[in-house]
Chain A
Amino acid sequence: MKKLLCCFALSLSQLALAEKTLQLFNWNDYIAPATVERFEAQCQCKVVQDYYSSTEEMMAKLLAGAADYDVVIPTQNAVEALIAQNFLQPLDKAKLSNISNMAAGFMNKSYDPGNTYSVPYAFTTTLIGYNETRFKELGIQADNWSVIFDPAVLEKLKGKVTVMDDSEELMAAAMLYLGYTINDTDEKHLKAAQQAILTAKPYWAAFNSSSYIKELTVGNIWVAHGYSSDMFQARADAIDAGRDFSINFALPVQGAVLALDNMVIPNKARDTELAHQFINFMMAPENAAELTNEIGTGNPNGAARAFIQPEILAIAAIFPDTQQQQKLETIAARTAKQRRFQNRLWTEIKVR
């Protein structure tokens, strides 16, 4: 008991003494705790994290006034939207010496020419995580979006499926299932995608973008629609917990969404100096590599490859080869009109 009271008093006093803080707004489970600790030791500061589990959630929070985070990690289409809103401040390249480590293939993209406002952080694919043992029992192939949308397959998986609570991601998956591209703006195609979702919805347990790792690991859910990095962690968690089943993940043959996440600094950031320090820190090869080794993300940092565990480099879903890259697309930024149409479809999906 005394130990607890001492801990309590100590932590309260720590709070009182902490001066510099970095307010980080990041996807959940998207940075290794060890990395955070190392940065805190280096900068003599505290890192305070807020999390989001969908781009919509992040945009809503930022644009609804919670704008003074120091560093945010948005996906490329969100970066484009934030730039258009004059929300970000240009990066001071003089403070980012490590920027030379980044692989050329990921720099100077159309969403931010010259990387004025952003530098790449990590990339993930959105795919299917599944309970390998159960799938073997049921004889289902996991690398196909039909696992989530086809009623014939869903019959065997009723109540054991979660999909992302994210309109862009789920609509994209449905479009791929129907054979369209994810940036297809034909309203008829989008309505067909909505219909596919509504047909499958009764078989799903829930819309879940945040705790599906745990649900998969515990065995409540056998199929989850989610990010490659999360599935990587789920697989590791299941092994750690000594489960009698194994988790695996697969890129569907119809294609998948590729998301390139970036580090940006909002205009209203409280500590720009510290923000730059953090961004530079994350571009150092060991720190960038830790992201892949611990979290299982794809890595746009060329110099980091030397530090990444080879078995992870070999995973196609995390580091897709050129052939698979053909089938991966990034979500484009939407116009206001497209967004409103998609929102209405999404509200209808949720309400029916």
Chain B
Amino acid sequence: MRRNYWLVSATLAVYLFLYLPLMVVVLFSFNDSKLNAEWVGFTLTWYEKLFNNREMLRAAANSLVIAVISALLASILGTLAGIALHRFRQKWLSALVLGPVAMPDILIGVSLLLMFILFNFTLGTSSIILAHVSFCIGFVALAVQARMAGMDDSLIEAARDLGATPWQSFRLITLPALTPGIIAGAMMAFTLSIDDFVITFFTAGVGSKTLPLEIYSMVKIAVTPEVNAVSSLLMLLTLILISAIARLSPQVLRS
């Protein structure tokens, strides 16, 4: 293929478009000025302030706890769903599992709020977890289903021929083969949960603020570069997570 300079420069421009805003955020997190307007000097005060900001730390702790539990639950349920999707190919199951993935977040958030209130369920950390699991199941299921599609079914048949029970063949053959997919799905669920804003916005209760909600109220009320600092740290965290996912299962990223 001949090098098409127009194509290359257009591509470069888009990559720049993708990264420039984030670089601005990171840059100004080190800026010695309350405003995100012009560069004054290098400082780490915003990071210091961040670590002394109890509300922020509390929100970060909440986010982590919620993400871990959601990822765990979603992995279990999502794996089962993924296998079922692969085996049974029922339309209604597909719709049920992938529905929360396809629908705009606001619809899921609002309908869950409605249900929680009507059942007098006090909003709090548990309501957030229940909400997150419902949309994470779909992602894990997709990852597992993709993995199963690439798996060799004859292995299982061979095992059955040799006398293994369904549970044994599942435990000793299917599950290990699926493990990278499950882990990748779990990490994706973890990242989605930490990142989620809209659904958490509607289902959070007293004292169960997550990091995105905290950032939202900071952005609305008192925008100091502390927001830049927490954003930069979050980006670092997701960079680490993504590298891990990419190492484990590159196909998952494409789904």
Name A residues whose Cβ lies closer than 8 Å to a Cβ of B: 3-4, 7-8, 11-12, 14-15, 21, 23, 25, 28-29, 46, 48-51, 53, 64-69, 210-211, 214, 218, 241
B55 and A48 form a contact (CB under 8 A):
yes
B117 touches A211 (CB 8 A): no
In angstroms, how far is the closest chain B Cβ from the Cβ of A71? Answer: 12
The complex places the Cα of A252 from the Cα of B7 at a distance, in Å, of: 60
Q: Which of B44, B61, B123, B204 has the most CB of A within 10 A?
A: B123
Cβ-defined contact, B48 with A64, below 8 A: no
CB pair A214 B223 closer than 8 Å:
yes
Contact partner, A64, options B61, B117, B221, Cβ 8 Å? B117
Taking the closest CB of chain A, its distance from the CB of B215, in whole angstroms, is 14
Q: Does B11 contact A (CB under 8 A)?
A: no
Q: List the interface of chain B (C-beta within 8 A of A).
A: 34-35, 44, 47-48, 51-52, 54-55, 57-58, 61, 113, 116-117, 121-123, 204-207, 209, 217, 220-223
Q: Is the CB of A66 within 8 A of B123?
A: yes
| A11 and B51 contacting across the interface, CB-CB below 8 Å | yes
Q: Give the 10 A-B residue pairs with the shortest CB-CB distance, closest first.
A: A7-B51, A65-B123, A66-B206, A210-B221, A210-B220, A8-B51, A66-B205, A28-B221, A68-B206, A11-B57
Determine if B122 and A65 form an interchain contact, defined as CB atoms under 8 angstroms apart: yes
Contact of B35 among A46, A53, A66, A218 (CB under 8 A): A218
B51 touching A211, Cβ below 8 Å: no
Contacts of B113 on A, CB cut-off 8 Å?
64
Q: Which residues of B contact A50 (CB under 8 A)?
A: 206-207, 209
Q: Roughly how many angstroms separate A35 CA and B67 CA in the complex, as a whole number? A: 35
Within the complex, the shortest CB–CB distance from A269 to chain B, in Å, comes to 10
Q: A8's closest neighbor in chain B, by CB? A: B51
Residue of chain B at shortest CB distance from A47: B54
Does A3 lie within 8 Å of B223, measured CB to CB?
A: no
Give the docked Cα–Cα distance between A12 and B220 (Å).
26
Measured between beta carbons, the chain B residues less than 8 angstroms from A210 are 220-221
A7 touches B48 (CB 8 A): yes
- Cα of A14 to Cα of B53 in the assembled complex, Å: 12
* Least CB distance, A317 to chain B, in whole angstroms: 23
Residues of B within 8 A of A28 (CB): 221-222
The verdict on A68 contacting B51 (CB below 8 Å), with A51-B217, A211-B220, A218-B35 known, is no
**B57's contact among A4, A15, A53, A211, by CB below 8 Å, is which?**
A15
Q: Collect the chain B residues with CB atoms within 8 Å of residue A8's CB.
A: 51
Also in contact, A214 and B222, with CB within 8 A (given A4-B44, A65-B123): yes
- Residues of B contacting A51 in the complex (Cβ-Cβ under 8 angstroms): 217, 221
Q: Which residue of A lies closest to B121 (CB)?
A: A65
Q: Is the CB of A49 within 8 A of B55?
A: yes
Q: Is the CB of A3 within 8 A of B222?
A: no
* Separation of A4 and B126 alpha carbons in the complex (Å): 32
Which of A11, A21, A69, A241 is packed against the most chain B CB atoms within 10 Å? A11
Supposing A4-B44, A7-B52, A51-B221 touch, asked if A65 and B205 sit within 8 A by C-beta, the answer is yes
Chain B nearest Cβ from A2, distance in angstroms: 12
**Nearest-CB distance from B116 to chain A (Å)?**
7
In the complex, A138 Cα to B226 Cα: how many Å? 36
Separation of A218 and B35 alpha carbons in the complex (Å)? 8
* Residue among A4, A23, A66 facing the most chain B CB atoms (10 A cut-off): A66
16 further A-B contacts with Cβ under 8 Å, apart from A65-B116, A211-B222, are A3-B48, A4-B51, A12-B57, A23-B206, A23-B207, A50-B207, A65-B117, A65-B121, A65-B122, A65-B205, A66-B205, A210-B221, A211-B220, A211-B221, A211-B223, A241-B34
Q: How far does the alpha carbon of A348 sit from the alpha carbon of B51 in the complex, in Å?
A: 43
- Docked Cα-Cα span, A205 to B243, in Å, equals 42
Question: Nearest chain-A residue to B34 (Cβ)?
Answer: A241
Residues from chain B with Cβ under 8 Å of A46 in the complex: 54
A48 to B208, CA, bound (A): 11
| B123 contacts A64, C-beta separation under 8 Å | yes
Complexed CA–CA distance, A241 and B224 (Å): 14
List, in ascending order, chain B residues with CB within 8 A of A65's CB.
Answer: 116-117, 121-123, 205
- Nearest B residue to A1, CB-CB: B44
Contacts of B58 in A (CB 8 A): 15, 48
Q: 24 A–B contact pairs at CB < 8 A?
A: A7-B51, A7-B52, A8-B51, A14-B54, A15-B54, A15-B57, A23-B206, A28-B222, A50-B206, A64-B113, A64-B123, A65-B116, A65-B117, A65-B122, A66-B204, A66-B205, A67-B122, A68-B206, A210-B220, A210-B221, A211-B221, A211-B223, A214-B223, A218-B35
Cα–Cα, bound, A48→B55 (Å) = 7
How many whole Å from A214's CB to the nearest CB in chain B? 6
In the bound complex, residues from chain B placing their C-beta under 8 Å from that of A68 are: 122, 205-206
Q: Which residue of B lies closest to A64 (CB)?
A: B117
Contacts of A11 in B (CB 8 A): 51-52, 54, 57
Complex interface: chain A residues within 8 A of B221 (CB): 28-29, 51, 53, 210-211
Give Cα A276 to B104, complex, Å: 44
Known: A23-B206, A48-B207. A4 touches B47 (CB 8 A): yes
